[in-house]
Amino acid sequence: MDFGYFGLNIGALDNADAIADVAVAAEQLGYESIWTGEHVVLIDPQEAPSPVPPHAPFVDTVTTLAFAAGKTEKIKLGSGIILLPQRNPIVLAKELAGVDVLSKGRLIFGLGVGYVPGEFEALGIPYEERGARTTEHIEVIRTLWTQEQPSFDGQFTKFSGIQSRPLPVQNPHPPILVGGMSAPALRRAVEQGDGWYGFFQDLNATEQAVKSLKETAKSTERREGLEPLTISITPPGAVDADTAKRYEDLGVDRLIVMRGFEDMANTGGGGAGGIISFLEDQAKEVGLG
């Protein structure tokens, strides 16, 4: 099982030095990947279901991954997750392809639907369309990444007679991980994803999600050419070796650790140094390096 770190662009990691220090430390400690989170805007004043206070820093995901690519050599760079229906898929395909090219093939594209209506309102995107937009946007991006003469005729996006180069380095394209715990999200992962990403999932929730994915797969046709679905999980806080093994036994391919939601709100303490200490402790506990 591989190990990643979630939170590269959040909270105390809101500046170049902190992001670089954590990215380099994670690579040197033997982590397989580093991951960003995303809220393009936050609701002010905070109200449910917004998860963090309005002044919590979220450096843009694509910017952060591109910056981290220049500071590291081999660690994979994951978006965990991009809120896909809030993005123009043609522009996003171009941006993410650039990250994959500049990192020499290290991008992992994690995406989700989003769940805060006020964020969609601010961006002028109908909240009720988020599922349909996500499903279609995945195929728009896949088309632009893989077709020699890309064309698309969808509900939200239509194009032909265009090119968007360079294409990603990875063949056929960077891994696409679909996040979310709802039935539509699980179905979308099975239908369209290279993997599924469950955020803040304990062992019981992970076990149930894996069972649900298997049940969903019985009645859902998987896109032709996709390999078996991989499972990535961010657990709620630190894990010990025994807990990590129990996740692995459930079928988890990657654990993406974080200290807690306090880091997202920049109240976790210790700044980048505290996060690096957490990474060091977790690496020692699970036997990295």
Q: Output the pLDDT for position 227.
A: 95
Largest Cα–Cα separation, the chain: 54
Q: Output the pLDDT for position 260.
A: 84
In 37-192, which ranges are E strands?
76-79, 82-83, 107-112, 152-153, 158-159, 176-179
CB 56 within 8 A of CB 279: no
Q: Output the pLDDT for position 265.
A: 75
User: Regarding the domain delimited by 2-286, which CATH topology (the fold level of the hierarchy) does it fall under?
Assistant: TIM Barrel (3.20.20)
Q: Output the pLDDT for position 268.
A: 74
Residues of the chain with pLDDT under 70: none
Q: Output the pLDDT for position 58.
A: 96
Spatial distance between the Cα atoms of 46 and 53, rounded to a whole number of angstroms:
6
Spatial distance between the Cα atoms of 174 and 171, rounded to a whole number of angstroms:
7
Pairing mode of beta strands 2-6, 152-153:
unpaired
Q: Output the pLDDT for position 3.
A: 98
Q: Output the pLDDT for position 210.
A: 98
Q: Output the pLDDT for position 241.
A: 97
Instruction: Report how far apart, in Å, the C-alpha atoms of 254 and of each of 97, 152, 166, 222 are.
Output: 23, 33, 29, 21
- Residue extents of the structural domains in the chain: 2-286
Q: What pairs with residue 76 in β-bridges?
A: 33
pTM score > 0.85 for this model?
A: yes
Instruction: Report pLDDT digits (tens) over 122-133.
Output: 999 999 999 999
- 232: phi then psi, degrees, rounded to nearest 5: -120, 140
Q: Give me the DSSP letters along 261-274.
A: HHHHTT-SSSHHHH
* Alpha carbon of residue 188 to chain centroid: 15
Instruction: Report pLDDT digits (tens) over 168-206.
Output: 999 999 999 999 999 999 999 999 999 999 999 999 999
Q: Output the pLDDT for position 255.
A: 98
Instruction: Report how far apart, in Å, the C-alpha atoms of 209 and of each of 35, 216, 232, 268 are.
Output: 21, 10, 11, 28
